[in-house]
Amino acid sequence: MREFQSVDGEMMIGGVKASDIAKRYGTPVYVTDEERLRSNFRRIDIAFNERMPTRIHYALKANNNLSILKILQKEGAHIDAVSIGEVDLCLRAGFAPEKILYTGTSVSTTELKGLVKRKVPINIDSISEMRRLAEVAPEGYPISIRVNPDVGAGHHSHVVTGAKTTKFGVPKGAIINAYSEALSLGFKPFGIHCHIGAGVQDVEPFLHVTDVMIDMVNEIRDVLGLHLEVLDLGGGIGIPYVPGENEMDVWALAEAIESRVRDATDVQTLALEPGRYIVCDSTVLLTTVNDIKETPEKRFVGVDAGFNTLIRPAFYGSYHHVAVANKFDHPADLVYDVVGPICESGDFLAKERKLPRVAEGDLIVVYDTGAYGFSMSSNYNARGKPAEVLVNEGETYLIREAETVDDLIAHQKIPSRLMI
Ligand SMILES: Cc1ncc(COP(=O)(O)O)c(C=O)c1O
C-alpha cells in the first residue's frame, strides 16, 4: 500500500494538504496525484519494453476522466476500450484510432458499424459478432480474437473472466475454426487475446495462461499457416489494498513472460491491458465526517461519501484503507465502521477499522480509489457525482465538476399533460 507524507499531522497529497483540497473543492472529492499516475505507467511500460516490444493498453473502464486519458496519451499508452462511449472519450483525448483496441461483449451491430467508421481495431468476443462484423467492415479489417483460455483468477467471483463457465471469449477448443473463418471472411487477424480476471496478486496465473496461449498461437500457425503478430494477455494485475500486502513484481512478471514467449513463438509484440495497476493508488477519496453515532454494539462514523461514490466495499466486500487526513499522526486506537449517507445497511466504506478518535468535521481519506471508483459511481438517492481534482507539483486542478441537481434532471422530460 502506498505511503503518504504528513506535515504537522496533516496528510499531504502531491505537495498539497488534503484538508486544503477539501476546503477549496468541497467533499466528497476524488484526488489524483499526477506524478504517481505517470510513474505507475512508466514502471510497467519500461519493465516489459526493456525485454520485448509491448503495447500497454490502458483499460479506461477503471477511470475514464479525460485529463487522466490525456496524461496517459502523452506517456505513449495504447487503449483497451469496451464501448463506443469509451472509444469516443479516447478519440477526444487525442488517441489515434489504431492505438485503441475495442474488446466488447454482447456487441450490437450498430456499435460494430460505429467502430468501423472510426477505424478502430476490434477484438472479437464471439463467432456471432465476427459474422455480423463481416457484413459491415471492409476487406482486410484488422481484428484479433478473444479466447476463453479456461484459466481464471481474480479478487472476487464477479471479476473472474477466463474460466470456461463465463460469458467471455471464444472457447479455446473452437479457436482454430474461428481463425479459419476469420480468414475466409476476409479479415486481417493480427493477434490473439485473453483476460483471466481482475485483482490478481500472483505471477503464477499469468504464467499459466501464457503457456496456454503459446500453445494456441503455435497451433494456429501450424494448422492455418497464420503467423499472429500480437499476443495480448489482458489486464488484471492487482495492487496491495491492505497494509502489509505484497506488490506485484512487474519486472519478474515481464522476465517470466518474455522468456516463455520469445523463443517459443513467432509473436513479435506483447500487449497488456492494465487498468487498476496504473490508476488505482494514484487517487484517494476525501470525505467529511457528518455524524458520529455510538450504539451498544458499534461506533459509526457517518461521512458524506457512500456506495454511490465508491461501490467496491458494498459490491465486492473490498478492503479500502481509511485514515483521518487531519489527524494523520494521531494513534489509531478506537474501532469504527465508516458508513455513508445512502439509505441501505450495505452502505459502508470500511468496517471495524482502528482510527484516532473521530469528530464531526474531520476529513476521512479512503485509499486506492483511482480504479473502479468514480467510474462505477452512481446517482443513487439523487446524489450528484463528486468532483475530481488533479494535483501536480503542489498545484491543484479541477478536472471534473461535482454534479448538481441540474445535472440530475438534464435529460428528463415531463409530459406536458402533467404540467397543467
Ligand atoms: C478485457 C479486459 N482487459 C482489461 C481489464 C482491466 O482489468 P484491471 O483493471 O484489473 O487491470 C479488464 C477488466 O475487467 C478486462 O475485462
Distance (Å, rounded) from C-alpha 294 to C-alpha 167? 45
CB 355 within 8 A of CB 332: yes
Domain co-membership, 241 together with 129: yes
406 CA from centroid of ligand 1 (Å): 33
CATH of the domain at 304: 2.40.37.10
pLDDT at position 190: 98
Using most ligand atoms within 8 A of CB, pick from 72, 155, 195, 376 the residue to mutate for ligand 1.
Answer: 195
Residue 215 has pLDDT above 80, yes or no: yes
Catalytic residues: 343
Check if 161 has its Cβ closer than 6 Å to any atom of ligand 1: yes
Domain co-membership, 259 together with 321: no
Nearest CA to ligand 1 atom 12: 235
Question: Residue type at 186?
Answer: G
Domain co-membership, 271 together with 284: no
Domain count, the chain: 2
CB 231 within 8 A of CB 264: no
pLDDT at position 10: 97
pLDDT at position 155: 77
- Has residue 418 been placed in a domain? no
Domain co-membership, 299 together with 260: no
pLDDT at position 252: 96
Domain co-membership, 115 together with 264: yes
Mean pLDDT of 244-268: 94
Distance (Å, rounded) from C-alpha 389 to C-alpha 366? 15
pLDDT, tens digit (0-9, with 9 covering 90-100), for 107-116: 999 999 999 9
Residue 354 has pLDDT above 90, yes or no: yes
Residue 152 has pLDDT above 80, yes or no: no
Using most ligand atoms within 8 A of CB, pick from 80, 253, 277 the residue to mutate for ligand 1.
Answer: 80
pLDDT at position 160: 74
Q: How far is CA 103 from CA 35, 169, 187, 270, 346, in A?
A: 29, 10, 16, 16, 32
pLDDT, tens digit (0-9, with 9 covering 90-100), for 289-332: 999 999 999 999 999 999 999 999 999 999 999 999 999 999 99
Residue 388 has pLDDT above 80, yes or no: yes
Check if 239 has its Cβ closer than 6 Å to any atom of ligand 1: no
Mean of per-residue pLDDT scores for the chain: 96
pLDDT, tens digit (0-9, with 9 covering 90-100), for 126-150: 999 999 999 999 999 999 999 999 8
Index of the ligand 1 atom closest to the CA of residue 234? 3
Domain co-membership, 73 together with 16: no
Domain co-membership, 289 together with 356: yes
- Full domain range(s) for residue 196: 34-276
CATH of the domain at 59: 3.20.20.10
- Has residue 398 been placed in a domain? yes
Check if 103 has its Cβ closer than 6 Å to any atom of ligand 1: yes
Distance (Å, rounded) from C-alpha 320 to C-alpha 154? 17
Check if 275 has its Cβ closer than 6 Å to any atom of ligand 1: yes
Domain co-membership, 235 together with 168: yes
Domain co-membership, 199 together with 304: no
pLDDT, tens digit (0-9, with 9 covering 90-100), for 7-62: 999 999 999 999 999 999 999 999 999 999 999 999 999 999 999 999 999 999 99
pLDDT at position 17: 98
- Has residue 1 been placed in a domain? no
Domain boundary among 253, 276, 299: 276
DSSP element (H, E) containing 100 = strand 100-103
Domain boundary among 276, 303, 326: 276
Check if 383 has its Cβ closer than 6 Å to any atom of ligand 1: no
pLDDT at position 368: 98
CB 301 within 8 A of CB 292: yes
pTM metric for this prediction: 0.96
Domain co-membership, 122 together with 235: yes
Check if 152 has its Cβ closer than 6 Å to any atom of ligand 1: no
Check if 304 has its Cβ closer than 6 Å to any atom of ligand 1: no
- Has residue 65 been placed in a domain? yes
- Has residue 182 been placed in a domain? yes
Domain boundary among 276, 303, 333: 276
- Has residue 75 been placed in a domain? yes
123 CA from centroid of ligand 1 (Å): 14
Nearest CA to ligand 1 atom 9: 275
- Has residue 28 been placed in a domain? yes
60 CA from centroid of ligand 1 (Å): 9
- Has residue 417 been placed in a domain? no
Q: Note the Cα 369 to chain centre separation in Å.
A: 10
Domain co-membership, 302 together with 184: no
The rounded percent of the chain whose pLDDT value lies above 70 is 100
Domain co-membership, 238 together with 300: no
